[in-house]
Amino acid sequence: MNRVVHPIEEESYRRLRARLDTSHFPPLTRAVVERVIHSAADLDYATDLVMDEGDLEKAHAALHAGAPVVVDVEMVGAGITRRETVCRLKDAVAGPGLTRSAHAIRLAYEQVGPGALWVIGNAPTALEELLTLDASPALVIGLPVGFVGAVESKAALRESGLPAVSNVSEKGGSAVAAAALNALLYHPTSDPEEKS
């Protein structure tokens, strides 16, 4: 993907790297950590994020091969600037024991099937629902935000063994979830050692 980087973004990354040494991270992990920090201006994400480079490599390949990208809310989709996303929240309805966000995840899975990249930045119940499905995801970016259920849903994601990007704190949100996906999207496919 040819992408022109604006001088403001270049300067932001220069300042980020002046304040935090990210050179010890493997290439895709570094890309995710830096883009998430860049999106939130929060250096603590360097130690809060949890991911595996091997999982990121497989997800990167799937993403660039055209795997679908599912988001829990339109705001996450709006942050993913160079890829169409699937969001079924408008079609979803809440019911007994089922939030609207969880129902949207069911609807999205019916639409895309296994092998998608799932980007959840808003609703812990969306992440919880995804974990009940046999979705066989290429990657789950599970970064919902909040004081109720966010930490627990992200811990459950890590315990599930699914390929994932998550974090251990209550922090998260649409911007950081979209940033994590964009890091993989913007990272070059020809030279995995090249750093963005």
**Catalytic residue annotation:** 38
Residue 154 CA, chain-centre distance (Å), reads 12
User: How far is Cα 176 from Cα 190, in angstroms, rounded to an integer?
Assistant: 26
Q: Which residues contact 147 (CB under 8 A, 6 or more apart)?
A: 170
Q: Which of 187, 193, 157 lies closest to 172, judged by CA? A: 157
Question: Both tokens of residue 97?
Answer: 């024991």
The type of residue at 74 is: E
